[in-house]
Amino acid sequence: MARSTKPKGAPPFVLIATAFAGVLVLVAGALIGLAFRDSAKGVAGNPLAISVGGKFDLVDQNGKPFTDADLQGKWQLVFFGYTHCPDVCPTALNDLSLALDQLGADKSKVGIVFISVDPDRDTPAVLKSYVESFGGPIEALTGSPAAVAQAAKDYRVFYAKHPRADGGYDMDHSALIYVMDPKGRFTATFTPDDDADAITKRLKKLVG
Amino acid sequence: MRFKQLALGAGLMLFSTAAALAQSGDIEIKNAWARATPGGAQTAAAYVTIEAPSGDRLTGVSTPAAQKADIHSMTMDNGVMKMRQLDGLDLPAGKEVTLKPGGYHIMLTGLAKPLEAGQSFPLTLNFAKAGAQQVTVSVQKVGAMGPGGGEAGNSMSMPGMTMPMHH
């Protein structure tokens, strides 16, 4: 039925133009895809073209200043969270610590950076005892609300207080783990769904 | 007066015992576990697996281990982790509902003391039909991903464990 029905009311040149436009869109899509094919993967060790990371000025769990310059010289796994987080944050920090252990000799090439999105409660002292429980080489950072906001902006991290009925609050926060190369360039991401084995496997490709 | 109070007390006790007996077959609760808390953490998550053969609703939780215990959902919304307090959790008839890392959990706030691996504590679950049911929560290691204490990274291959699998 549809095959034998001639389109009515649409002059042929409109049809041709439409078809041509369609082809153009496809070609453009393919070209854009090709252009981003390598950079978008990020597993080959090439820094991603997207801008993630930047200048920040925070303090570590010992109260010492820690800036973006301190990230350089090592691969860094950057994760934003907070110590009152009972589920995703301990899971991620534990997975990262385990993954580093599984790297063997390459372990010394990688650091973990945990940046608190809850500076009101996460003081350096709170962070210190918290991250010591995970066994990994974790730098735990906090700072003034403005300094934390700056770091979060650099990494395109969203966070917001969500009030609880009892007057307390939880934090909503982006839960991606950012892999930065030793020059401080954004290279790949892990998600909370990646377990330690998956993280180890990809890290071996990156740092090995 | 004294006798009346005693009679009332005894009556209430009998009633609640009878009620508990009647309910005991209506709900199955297993694998109650929690993770040890990282140093200084004031919150923890407890997990449990519940099956209500004829359907029920978990309406509340309490434990002497924490000032507050709430039922929470954890969702990832476009890469953003969100925890929300729930009024209750529906338990469809005959379907096992597993609270687990990365999903529903019982949020413990204001811990009486840190949770340490190897310890256990009582947790009371309140159900719309089955009433109050107490279970013992066993505390696993900080990075445990299941009631067997398997750690993240190698627990995925442990047999017989209910695990969050979003891969």
Condensed to tens digits (0 to 9), the pLDDT of residues A62-79 reads 999 999 999 999 999 999
Q: Is B13 on the interface with A (CB under 8 A)?
A: no
CB contact under 8 A, B74 and A197: no
pLDDT above 90 as % of chain A: 69
- Tokens 């307390």 sit on residue: A168
Structure confidence at residue A37 (pLDDT): 38
| Better-scored residue on pLDDT, A127 or B158 | A127
Q: Chain B residue with minimal CA distance to A165?
A: B85
Q: Chain A residue with minimal CA distance to B47?
A: A87
Q: What is the mean pLDDT of residues A111-134?
A: 96
Helices then strands (H, E): number in chain A?
Answer: 5, 9
- Amino acid occupying residue B165: M
Out of A1-15, A165-179, B79-93, B126-140, least confident range: A1-15
Q: What is the mean pLDDT of residues A141-150?
A: 98
Q: Looking at CA atoms only, how far is residue B95 from chain A in angstroms?
A: 24
Q: What is the model's pTM?
A: 0.75
Residue B109's pLDDT band, with cuts at 50, 70 and 90, is very high
With a CB cutoff of 8 Å and minimum separation 6, the contacts of A200 are A98, A99, A102, A103, B153
Q: Is B137 on the interface with A (CB under 8 A)?
A: no
ipTM value > 0.85: no
Question: What SS3 state is found at A42?
Answer: coil
| Best B81, B82, B145, B156 residue to mutate vs chain A (most A CBs within 10 Å) | B81
Structure confidence at residue B60 (pLDDT): 97
Of the candidates B68, B70, B79, the beta carbon closest to that of A176 is on: B79
The CA distances from residue A27 to A15, A23, A77, in Å, are: 18, 6, 37
A187, A40, A97, A143: which is closest to B151 by C-alpha?
Answer: A97
What is chain B's Cα-based Rg?
18
Q: Is B35 on the interface with A (CB under 8 A)?
A: yes
**Token code pair at residue A90:** 């301990």
Strand partners, B142: none
Q: How remote is the C-alpha of B24 from its chain's centroid?
A: 17
Give the integer Cα–Cα distance in Å for A9 and A140. Answer: 68
Of the candidates B36, B70, B80, the beta carbon closest to that of A174 is on: B80
Q: Chain A residue with minimal CA distance to B45?
A: A86
Q: Is A87 on the interface with B (CB under 8 A)?
A: yes
Structure confidence at residue B143 (pLDDT): 83
Out of A17-26, A72-81, B30-39, B84-93, least confident range: A17-26
For residue B13, the surrounding DSSP H or E stretch is: helix B2-24
Structure confidence at residue A119 (pLDDT): 97
Q: What is the mean pLDDT of residues B2-6?
A: 59
| Better-scored residue on pLDDT, A4 or A14 | A14
Question: What SS3 state is found at B20?
Answer: helix
pLDDT in tens, A124-136: 999 999 999 998 8
**Token code pair at residue B44:** 């923890």
